[in-house]
Chain A
Amino acid sequence: MARAAIETTGLGKRYRIGARSPYRTLRETLSGAFAAAGRRRAGLEETTLWALRGVDFRVEPGEKVGIIGRNGAGKSTLLKVLARITDPTEGEARVRGRVGSLLEVGTGFHPELTGRENVFLNGTILGMRAAEVRRKFDEIVAFAEVERFLDTPVKHYSSGMYVRLAFAVAAHLETEILLVDEVLAVGDASFQKKCLGKMEEAGRQGRTVLLVSHNMGLITSLASRGVVIAAGRVVFDGDTGAAVRSYLSRVGAGVETRVSLHGHPNRLPGMRTVITGVACLQDDGSPAATFLQSDDVVLDLDYDAGDGLPLAGAGFIVYTTSGVRVGGFNTYMAGPPPHRLPGRGVVRFVIPARQFTPGSYCVTVSVGSHPGTLEDKVENAIGFEVSPADIYGTGYLLTPGDGVCAIVARAGVLPAASGAAREAS
């Protein structure tokens, strides 16, 4: 059997938390015995927290694994243990090959030092040899696009330049195993694309990559396997898409994914309560608040017209959180007349999330007795979030800054004397 690049068995890490300060003062240690007795009497046991517990997993050489989990789930602790920054409390991990860890961009950068000095310092801190940094120096500087400012202290750099240079150094680490924690979420969009390219290159070179990120799109496009961590334990390990969905439905568990609209404050004045509830679901029917662009948002509208007028249709309007109307859809668009809804039931809309750019959206729902005649309308009845995915199939990921809707088009290049140019000549 081939040897794993990373293998952990029963890995656990415990932290002490609570009233005690993380570091001790002499007095506390000297009086420690008394204090401990005092605590016991007062029933204030020292609280401990297992940031990781019983983690068993195996990463084969060349695998790209995305580690997903909420804040505080233990993802970063796992990377820190594997990077040997902190010792585990129990269990063990075997790591085979040189490890490069990128837990933060610009670790060891000193504001007073020049760009050049920082490149060398940072490179050697990350584990490179000086000769190696020297060899890659021009490449690093070109990648960061800071050639002109090499001999300027980095404190005079713009934050973009600073981050670019810092990432460039790290990106040129050549280790068999790369541990990356959320560092790609820096810089402007174009630089992020560049970083992404570098990460993919690392993957293609057959390096083992462990990536922690909240950006589900990044995880799906870079990782071939996803590990979901919750409360310090591995709760899912498998295909990336399935891992992301498992995570998103977990996240959804805490958020309102099913809203009752009885007496809702956002109901427009003069409307009667017809829509009784609304819910956002994943394809498989599990409630969720966040959806991958590659998935569908299933919007369920529960209604009960009671003894009132028969209903003809239902619809929804999507707004960005800043109030820009993205668009809407209703049952009149879905099929030809005659339009008629049963007296009570559920209208289900299946909305391909690829139409939205990543970000947060609010949904206004309405029902009418006739096109143009509203019976009930509730603004901001529910919200959902869209997470980037590789919808173009090219690895290009959209960011919230890319607009309100994801434009899909075809592109090609024509020979020089054709198209629009022909008209001009």
Chain B
Amino acid sequence: MTRFDRRPRQAGRSHVDAPREFPEYPRMNPDDDASVPDEVVIRPRRGLVPLDVAELVRYRDLLWFLVRRDISLRYRQTMLGAAWAVLQPALSMALFALVFGRLLGVPSDGVPYPVFVYAGLLPWTYFSTALAASGASLVGSSSLVTKVYFPRLFIPLGACFAGLLDLLVAAVLLAGLMAWYGIRPGPSAWLLLPLTALLLAAAAGCGLWLSALTVEYRDFRFVVPFLLQLWMFATPVIYPVTVVPERFRWILALNPVGGLIEAFRAAALGSQAVSAGRLGASAAVAAAILIGGLYYFRRVERSFADVI
């Protein structure tokens, strides 16, 4: 396929009057970059559909505006606004600190329980809200999906990106708590950035699966809240890994966010060394879910408009 020329080949012939020969036909749009394909062949897609990275790049501005939409809509017409980003994990923290910290005396790696549990709730809240939002995102955008073409991947991805702002806002309280309890962040705090990226990847991977599955099976709307509740208890959020017997810890590593959240807390508080083994295992599982999710999504994407 040859890329066609942007300029008329024969000077003097108006392309407006004689647009018969396509190669003379100029690109209408100066903003089109070279990645716009010359010819698109539309035919039934079967099997695995490779990712069209060029197209994702071409539509990148859309992702940004979808994220902006999600962010600016999230707390619109709420009285407390963005304070909810802090309040949700803060209230959970208070509850868990009372029940698990005070009443049950769950150990917390030598760190005061409130700051310990908050450092786990912070990434967990991000993960669970991002997952819930991206899971419901496609069905919620049915009017878009049935009326216009664009990379559908951006819908669940946008929901995951939008949650990052909440994470950032809620992180302020973590800093406050650490100051209150006199915990100084060590150099390991820099690890929080790549860890957040991994968390995003884990949320996106699971979100792709859930959003695509929800299009076809609305059951997942009911499954997700239960799933998230169970998942939290299967993740070292409100308890330290050390309470899990050694021989069962590998199960935590299979949890795509288990090792991540454990590492997130360790990196933030500097309370103990990051377990490279469990982190690596979780990251690998998260990566596998993401790659699988991308392929599953691409495979079922073609029928979204028909079944949604």
Q: A23-B217, A61-B21, A88-B42 are in contact. List 20 more A-B contacts (CB 8 A).
A: A2-B21, A2-B22, A3-B23, A22-B306, A22-B307, A23-B308, A25-B217, A25-B218, A60-B20, A84-B42, A87-B44, A87-B303, A89-B44, A95-B42, A98-B29, A107-B148, A124-B61, A125-B144, A127-B59, A174-B28
Known contacts being A23-B217, A96-B38, A125-B150, is A85 close to B28, with CB within 8 Å? no
Residues of chain B lying within 8 A (CB to CB) of residue A200: none
Residues of chain B lying within 8 A (CB to CB) of residue A138: none
Residues of chain B lying within 8 A (CB to CB) of residue A4: 22
Partner among B25, B27, B45, B77 whose Cβ is within 8 Å of the Cβ of A87: B45
Binding site for B on A (CB under 8 A): 2-5, 15, 22-27, 29, 60-62, 80-99, 101, 103-104, 107-108, 110, 112-113, 117, 120-121, 124-132, 174-176, 204-207
Binding site for A on B (CB under 8 A): 15-16, 19-23, 25, 27-29, 31-32, 36, 38-45, 59, 61-62, 64-66, 68-69, 72-73, 76-77, 143-150, 215-219, 302-303, 305-308
* A83 to B145 alpha-carbon distance, docked (Å): 12
20 contacts between A and B (CB under 8 A): A5-B22, A23-B217, A24-B217, A27-B219, A61-B19, A61-B25, A80-B305, A97-B25, A99-B149, A107-B143, A107-B148, A110-B73, A121-B66, A124-B62, A124-B64, A125-B65, A129-B61, A130-B61, A131-B31, A206-B25
A125 CB to closest chain B CB, in angstroms?
6
Q: Are A101 and B61 in contact (CB under 8 A)?
A: no
B73 CB to closest chain A CB, in angstroms?
6
The residue in chain A whose Cβ has the minimal distance to the Cβ of B38 is: A96
Residues of chain B lying within 8 A (CB to CB) of residue A83: 148-149
Known contacts being A103-B148, A125-B62, A204-B16, is A98 close to B73, with CB within 8 Å? no
Partner among A90, A124, A204, A205 whose Cβ is within 8 Å of the Cβ of B44: A90
Residues of chain A lying within 8 A (CB to CB) of residue B29: 98, 132, 174-175
* A343 to B302 alpha-carbon distance, docked (Å): 68
B269 CB to closest chain A CB, in angstroms?
38
The residue in chain B whose Cβ has the minimal distance to the Cβ of A108 is: B144
Q: Are A206 and B16 in contact (CB under 8 A)?
A: yes
A239 CB to closest chain B CB, in angstroms?
18
The residue in chain A whose Cβ has the minimal distance to the Cβ of B46 is: A87
